[in-house]
Amino acid sequence: MEVEMKVLRLMMDPVTNMPIVILKDVGSDTVLPIWVGVPEANAIALEIEKVATPRPLTHDLIKNVLMGLETVVHKVVVTELKEDTFYAVIWLEREGRVISIDSRPSDALAVALRVDCPIFVEEQVLKTSKQAATMSENLTSDELRKYLEGISDDDLGKYKM
Protein backbone atom coordinates (compact mmCIF):
# COMPACT_ATOMS: atom_id res chain seq x y z
CA MET A 1 0.00 0.00 0.00
CA GLU A 2 1.26 3.46 -0.88
CA VAL A 3 1.21 6.36 1.57
CA GLU A 4 0.99 9.85 0.09
CA MET A 5 3.76 12.12 1.32
CA LYS A 6 4.93 15.67 0.74
CA VAL A 7 8.32 17.29 1.01
CA LEU A 8 8.23 18.92 4.42
CA ARG A 9 11.71 20.42 4.36
CA LEU A 10 15.38 20.03 3.58
CA MET A 11 17.96 20.08 6.32
CA MET A 12 21.53 19.05 7.04
CA ASP A 13 22.34 15.91 8.99
CA PRO A 14 24.01 17.27 12.15
CA VAL A 15 26.40 14.30 12.30
CA THR A 16 27.40 13.59 8.69
CA ASN A 17 26.71 17.11 7.34
CA MET A 18 24.82 15.54 4.41
CA PRO A 19 21.50 16.93 3.15
CA ILE A 20 18.30 15.19 4.24
CA VAL A 21 14.89 15.48 2.57
CA ILE A 22 12.14 15.14 5.17
CA LEU A 23 8.98 13.57 3.73
CA LYS A 24 5.75 13.83 5.72
CA ASP A 25 2.63 11.69 5.42
CA VAL A 26 -0.21 13.96 4.25
CA GLY A 27 -2.67 12.04 6.44
CA SER A 28 -0.69 11.75 9.67
CA ASP A 29 2.37 13.04 11.46
CA THR A 30 4.71 10.31 10.17
CA VAL A 31 7.95 11.62 8.69
CA LEU A 32 10.66 9.85 6.72
CA PRO A 33 14.14 11.34 6.36
CA ILE A 34 16.01 10.40 3.18
CA TRP A 35 19.67 11.31 2.89
CA VAL A 36 20.50 12.75 -0.55
CA GLY A 37 23.49 14.11 -2.42
CA VAL A 38 24.37 17.79 -2.44
CA PRO A 39 23.53 18.38 -6.14
CA GLU A 40 20.12 16.70 -5.76
CA ALA A 41 19.43 18.65 -2.57
CA ASN A 42 20.27 21.85 -4.43
CA ALA A 43 17.89 20.87 -7.27
CA ILE A 44 15.13 20.18 -4.75
CA ALA A 45 15.82 23.42 -2.87
CA LEU A 46 15.72 25.49 -6.06
CA GLU A 47 12.29 24.10 -6.90
CA ILE A 48 10.94 24.49 -3.35
CA GLU A 49 12.07 28.12 -3.38
CA LYS A 50 10.86 28.59 -7.00
CA VAL A 51 14.26 29.94 -8.04
CA ALA A 52 14.59 30.30 -11.80
CA THR A 53 17.94 29.46 -13.32
CA PRO A 54 19.20 31.10 -16.52
CA ARG A 55 19.48 27.71 -18.25
CA PRO A 56 17.65 24.44 -17.51
CA LEU A 57 19.32 22.19 -14.97
CA THR A 58 19.13 18.39 -15.28
CA HIS A 59 15.71 17.97 -13.64
CA ASP A 60 14.33 20.91 -15.62
CA LEU A 61 15.65 19.22 -18.78
CA ILE A 62 13.87 15.99 -17.81
CA LYS A 63 10.63 17.93 -17.31
CA ASN A 64 11.07 19.67 -20.69
CA VAL A 65 11.78 16.36 -22.48
CA LEU A 66 8.70 14.75 -20.92
CA MET A 67 6.52 17.71 -21.88
CA GLY A 68 7.96 17.72 -25.40
CA LEU A 69 7.11 14.03 -25.74
CA GLU A 70 3.62 14.68 -24.37
CA THR A 71 4.31 12.40 -21.43
CA VAL A 72 2.49 12.82 -18.10
CA VAL A 73 4.14 12.01 -14.79
CA HIS A 74 1.39 10.43 -12.69
CA LYS A 75 3.34 9.90 -9.50
CA VAL A 76 6.67 8.99 -7.93
CA VAL A 77 6.93 6.20 -5.38
CA VAL A 78 9.71 5.36 -2.94
CA THR A 79 9.34 1.61 -3.36
CA GLU A 80 12.05 -0.13 -1.38
CA LEU A 81 14.68 0.11 1.29
CA LYS A 82 17.19 -2.59 0.46
CA GLU A 83 20.68 -2.94 1.94
CA ASP A 84 20.46 0.60 3.34
CA THR A 85 19.54 2.09 -0.05
CA PHE A 86 16.20 3.67 -0.92
CA TYR A 87 14.72 2.94 -4.37
CA ALA A 88 12.06 4.85 -6.27
CA VAL A 89 9.98 4.60 -9.43
CA ILE A 90 8.63 7.40 -11.60
CA TRP A 91 5.27 6.46 -13.17
CA LEU A 92 4.72 7.98 -16.63
CA GLU A 93 2.00 7.78 -19.25
CA ARG A 94 2.49 8.40 -22.94
CA GLU A 95 -0.03 7.69 -25.67
CA GLY A 96 -2.08 5.57 -23.27
CA ARG A 97 0.90 3.44 -22.23
CA VAL A 98 1.97 3.42 -18.57
CA ILE A 99 5.72 3.24 -18.06
CA SER A 100 7.69 2.82 -14.82
CA ILE A 101 11.19 4.28 -14.64
CA ASP A 102 13.68 3.22 -11.95
CA SER A 103 15.08 6.24 -10.13
CA ARG A 104 16.98 7.38 -7.11
CA PRO A 105 14.50 8.93 -4.66
CA SER A 106 16.31 12.26 -4.79
CA ASP A 107 15.90 12.51 -8.57
CA ALA A 108 12.30 11.29 -8.41
CA LEU A 109 11.50 13.95 -5.80
CA ALA A 110 13.20 16.70 -7.83
CA VAL A 111 11.14 15.71 -10.89
CA ALA A 112 7.91 15.37 -8.87
CA LEU A 113 8.29 18.89 -7.50
CA ARG A 114 8.83 20.28 -11.00
CA VAL A 115 5.82 18.56 -12.57
CA ASP A 116 3.64 18.90 -9.46
CA CYS A 117 2.73 15.21 -9.20
CA PRO A 118 1.98 13.22 -6.04
CA ILE A 119 4.75 11.60 -3.99
CA PHE A 120 4.18 8.23 -2.34
CA VAL A 121 6.15 5.87 -0.10
CA GLU A 122 5.36 2.19 0.13
CA GLU A 123 4.03 1.41 3.59
CA GLN A 124 6.64 -1.35 3.95
CA VAL A 125 9.42 1.22 3.51
CA LEU A 126 8.01 3.23 6.41
CA LYS A 127 7.86 0.07 8.53
CA THR A 128 11.38 -0.99 7.57
CA SER A 129 13.09 2.37 8.01
CA LYS A 130 14.45 2.89 11.49
CA GLN A 131 14.31 6.64 10.92
CA ALA A 132 10.58 6.87 10.16
CA ALA A 133 8.84 8.56 13.07
CA THR A 134 5.69 10.39 14.05
CA MET A 135 6.13 14.12 14.47
CA SER A 136 4.06 17.25 14.18
CA GLU A 137 4.19 19.25 10.95
CA ASN A 138 4.95 22.27 13.10
CA LEU A 139 8.16 20.60 14.20
CA THR A 140 10.94 23.12 14.60
CA SER A 141 14.35 22.63 13.09
CA ASP A 142 15.78 22.27 16.60
CA GLU A 143 13.26 19.54 17.50
CA LEU A 144 14.02 17.65 14.31
CA ARG A 145 17.76 18.07 14.86
CA LYS A 146 17.41 16.67 18.41
CA TYR A 147 15.43 13.72 17.04
CA LEU A 148 18.09 12.99 14.42
CA GLU A 149 20.87 13.35 16.98
CA GLY A 150 19.05 10.75 19.11
CA ILE A 151 19.37 8.14 16.37
CA SER A 152 22.30 5.83 16.99
CA ASP A 153 25.55 6.43 15.14
CA ASP A 154 25.13 3.04 13.46
CA ASP A 155 21.87 4.19 11.85
CA LEU A 156 22.51 7.85 11.13
CA GLY A 157 24.00 8.54 7.76
CA LYS A 158 24.25 4.90 6.77
CA TYR A 159 21.78 5.16 3.90
CA LYS A 160 23.40 5.26 0.51
CA MET A 161 22.39 7.91 -2.01
In this predicted structure, which of 55-64, 90-99, 115-124, 133-142 has the lowest mean pLDDT? 133-142
Does 41 score more than 60 pLDDT? yes
pLDDT of residue 114: 97
Report which of 78, 72, 46 is spatially closest to residue 60, judged by C-alpha positions. Answer: 46
Report which of 19, 88, 74 is spatially closest to residue 48, judged by C-alpha positions. Answer: 19
Q: Which residues pair with 23 in a beta bridge?
A: 7, 32
pLDDT of residue 84: 83
- DSSP H/E element including 7: strand 2-12
Does 152 score more than 60 pLDDT? no
DSSP per-residue string spanning 24-80 = EETTSSEEEEEE--HHHHHHHHHHHTTPPPSS--HHHHHHHHHHHTTEEEEEEEEEE
How far apart are the two ends of the chain, measured CA to CA in Å? 24
**Residue-averaged pLDDT of the chain:** 87
- Its pTM stands at 0.82
Please compute the mean of the pLDDT values over residues 122-129 and round it to a whole number: 92
Q: What are phi and psi of 100, to 5 degrees?
A: -110, 135
pLDDT tens track for 49-66: 999 999 999 999 999 999
Q: Where are the domains of the chain?
A: 2-150
Q: What is the distance between the alpha carbons of residues 53 and 40, in angstroms, rounded to a whole number?
A: 15
3.40.30.10, 3.90.105.10, 3.40.50.720, 3.10.690.10: CATH of 2-150: 3.10.690.10
